[in-house]
Amino acid sequence: MEHVYSNVYKGHMMGLPILGEVDNIHKITREMIVEFHKRMYFGENLVIVGTGDISHDQLVDLAEQHFGRLPRTNGGIDILNLDTPSFKPERLFVKDDN
């Protein structure tokens, strides 16, 4: 699937490997993760979906229990990479001898 995404989202972060580059992963600090959460994890940026045998009231209760302490907004912190990806369907052939 990573080949597919890199092919159809060329030049956009959506086409990058989901696990990232190993060298970059080793450079991640706790402060970077905390900053990411401040920027991205807030009420207006969250969608909660329930499926299966659950009532609306149960879902609301669970959402409040697990996400109720999140702030409604991110306090005006800039969100990076807001450019919309351009989906370009193409064919990609990958040879796998295994």
pTM: 0.51
Does any domain span residue 90?
no
Please write the tens of the pLDDT for every residue from 30-77: 999 998 888 888 888 889 999 999 999 999 999 999 999 988 888 887
15's CB contacts (< 8 A; 6+ apart) are 5, 6, 7, 8, 9, 85
Number of domains in the chain: 1
Predicted local distance difference test score (pLDDT) of residue 82: 65
Measuring CA to CA, which residue among 98, 97, 94, 96 is closest to residue 3? 94
Q: Is 88 among the domain residues? A: no
Amino acid 81: pLDDT:
63
The C-alpha torsion from 43 through 47 and 52 to 54, rounded to 10°, is 20
Residue 14 lies in a domain: yes
Residue 75 lies in a domain: no
**39 part of a folded domain:** yes
Both structure tokens of 97: 């001898």
Q: How far is CA 55 from the centre of its chain?
A: 27
Does residue 92 sit within a domain?
no
Separation between Cα atoms, residue 91 and residue 12, nearest integer Å: 18
Whether 55 maps to a domain, the answer reads yes
